[in-house]
Structure 1
Amino acid sequence: MTSRLSILSAGPGVTLQDGGRHGYLRYGITAAGPMDPLAHATANRALGNPLGATALEVSLGGVEVTAEGGPLGIAVAGGAFRLALDGAPLPPACALTLHPGQSLVVRAGRVGAWAYLAAAGRFDLPPTLGSTATHTRSGFGGLDGRALRAGDRLAVRDARPGPTDPHALTAPWLDRPPEEIRVVLGPQDDFFSDDQIAAFLAGPWTVTTKGDRMACFLDGTPLTHAKGYNIVSDGIAMGAIQVPGEGWPIVLMADRQSTGGYPKIATVIGPDLGRLAQAQGGTRIRFRAVDRAEAVAARRAEAQALAGPVAMEPLIRTDFTAEFLLGRNLIGGVVHGDVIPWE
């Protein structure tokens, strides 16, 4: 069955992302893909999709969607966003069936910068170089290489319903406080003296509001270079931490450039990329250096968490917000009575 996911409204930066466009870095084409790969995979796993299947990546601007043509299973995971189905609040990580005419709203909350909305089925999109990941700077992938906007309609092949009633996802691995980010030093840590490496690890650093899908910019006490700040340009991995001449570290993220000529003091390990990506502007972080063995162990633990189905719990409503109550007709009838004059 083919259903459609219709975009009713979308803030800036809502894009379609699969697991990424790999194998083309030598041609100057970076992978794109999700800013928080673990949350993206969790939303897909909850619906029985492949971990790298295409899903909506929702930024702080939020999104509102509905289904067309038939019921559609939906799962949302990522930051602590505020979700509502026809005005009824939902937990930030949940699975449900979206019926035609219903409205699912995803809005930014107090924690987290990205949420992922997966559909039970397969978004019918033409791949670009084997991937549907949107890279807006180059106009690759997704829907015409651009961010989604109101009026877009996305066909979903082999659409399936989700749970009859909304269920909360039990995904403890998404509880990742961002205060400590693990890194492997290098590849150009020799461009910094021991005291500057110690200063880099001690921090603290503040995530600025300047960042986007290309990079995370940090503020703090600037670092100084022992061997200058120019190198022969080399390849950039997601999570590479460049230190330009000004001394403030820049963490390269999903839409990074393919090469760079500033020394890289360290690289964020894969399992902590989402932890950093979810840090809103103003968050204070520190880096902790780990060896390769610890980084590999963290990656294995992440893979193990996603190896089986995602547990779900039915919702038991215990709170009724004013927004929810005002959206309901709570008057069951009107009784006419005699008017008693004021005496």
Structure 2
Amino acid sequence: MIEILATGPLNTVQDLGRPGYRKIGVTACGAMDTLAHSIANLMVGNDVSAAGIEVQTFPFRLRFEEPMVFSLAGADCAARLDGQQLSAFWAMWAEAGQELELNPPKDGARAYLGFEGGIDVAPVMGSRSTSLRGAFGGLDGRFLAVGDRLAVAPSAGGGFPKGGFGVTPPLEALADIFPPVADGVLPVRAIPAGEHDLFAADAERFWTQAWKVSARSDRTGFRLSGEPIRPKEVVEMRSHGVMPGVVQVPPAGEPIVQMSDANTAGGYPKIAGVLETDLWRLAQARIGSSLRFVPATHADARQAELAITAYLDDICQTRALLLQALSAFA
């Protein structure tokens, strides 16, 4: 069991979402940075889909009411366990009564906490993710509040180094796969979508200009500010299915990137689709930061997917070898 001691709005229990219900208007939800969430789970021996905590407002503080293994991933929040500083992408043993504190990150927007066994809340439609708009899932369908107590499911047990262990952050481990930030502008790879050509000359400007993440952005969609782009002619469109990564352009001409709580349908024209493998980087973009869309191919997406899979497999193998070595010396 863990107890929440300090928190802000929008910190929630999340897993990898509830796919398969978009046809009845239910969004998938789930972690915004699915890669960080997966890493946090693998470091404590969970399946990647186990439920953890997504933290996006700080400071955040909790108390461990029993001994357990936990992990940190995502934005570096200058975390401290009873005053001891912890690195990002680190797994650690906590004793009963110890307190963990996460502070506002210098870079990045969201941190993820994994717990061996996973957060034990009732699944809704096959997922423990919180749907804030639907008010279901997670802990009573709401964000966490001071005084909340969350159960942690029983773990497989086994030895664990009390000093903990860490893994190479994905931005370093996958530096050859993902284009680097240049002059403070995040490159986000995307593929032209169905109505791309409807924007004629403005379509080129979509790719070449830097867009700013608006303060009106949230888990449903990132609204981007910049010089508006508009179709060459007004076309009345029927609503169509959308999903995370779809970039729509409303009449005002400033794009919206659908995120984890993406709408299930919409009628705005689609100019591009962000590669699924790049959404984790976009999820860590802060309000007011800049990004630029980079044309990509299906081959780029496949290459990134294979690299991420290999990286996650390496984390699993590293953990297994570490525990095996500890067992041999026990």
Indicate whether the TM-score tops 0.5.
Answer: yes
Deviation per CA, 1:177-208: give whole Å up to 9, x if none.
46100001102213210x21210010111112
Instruction: Report 1:9-158 matches (<5 A).
Output: 9-68=6-65, 70-158=66-154
Max radius of gyration: which structure?
A: 1
Q: CA RMSD in A?
A: 1.9
- Where 1:49 maps in the other structure, the secondary structure is coil
CA contact (8 A) 2:243 2:263 kept: no
- How far 1:278 sits from its partner (Å)? 0.4
Deviation of residue 152 (structure 1)?
Answer: 1.0
**What letter is aligned with 1:179?**
L
What is the CA-CA distance between 1:75 and the residue it aligns to?
A: 0.4
Q: Which residue pairs with 1:330 in the alignment?
A: none
Q: Which runs of 5+ in 1 are unaligned?
A: 315-343
Match for residue 6 of structure 1?
Answer: 3
Greater shift in the superposed pair: 24-33 or 177-186? 177-186
Alignment pair present for 1:241 and 2:247: yes
Are 2:203 and 1:203 aligned? no
Q: Deviations over 1:278-326 (max 9, x none)?
A: 01112111111111121122112111211232558x9xxxxxxxxxxxx
Instruction: Name the structure 2 match of 1:168.
Output: 166
Aligned length: 308
Local SS of the residue matching 2:278 = helix
With over 3 angstroms needed to count, the CA separation of the structure-2 counterparts of 1:266 and 1:288, relative to structure 1, is same
What TM-score do the two structures reach when normalised by structure 2? 0.88
Corresponding residue for 1:278?
A: 284
Quick one: distance in 1 between partners of 2:235 and 2:4? 45
CA–CA distance in 2 between the matches of 1:187 and 1:9?
45
CA change 1:229–1:154 in 2 (3 A) is farther
**What CA deviation, in whole Å up to 9, does each residue of 1:201-245 have, x standing for no partner?**
101111122211111111111101123264211111101111001
Structure 1 moving runs of 4+ over 6 Å: none
CA distance in 2, matches of 1:229, 1:108: 44
Unaligned runs of 5+ in 2: 323-330
* Kept after mapping to 1: 8 A contact 2:58/2:104: yes
Distance in 2, Cα, partners of 1:233 & 1:56: 34
Counting strand residues as a fraction of each chain, which structure ranks higher?
1
Q: Please give the alpha-carbon distance, in whole angstroms, between the structure 2 residues aligned to 1:299 and 1:122.
A: 25
Give 1:162 deviation, angstroms: 4.7
Q: CA deviation at 1:5?
A: 1.6
Letter in 2 for 1:256: A
SS at match of 1:73: strand
Given the alignment, which residue of 188, 194, 197 partners 1:190? 197
Stretch moving more, 9-18 or 155-164: 155-164
Structure 2: how far apart are the matches of 1:85 and 1:78? Answer: 17
What is the CA–CA distance in structure 2 between the aligned matches of 1:165 and 1:229, rounded to whole Å? 61
Q: Which of the pair is proportionally richer in helix? A: 2
Structure 1 residue 142, shift from structure 2 partner? 0.4
CA distance in 1, matches of 2:109, 2:253: 25
2:301 to 284, 295, 299: 295
Q: Residues 17 and 162 from structure 1, CA distance in 2 versus in 1: closer, same or farther, beyond 3 angstroms?
A: farther
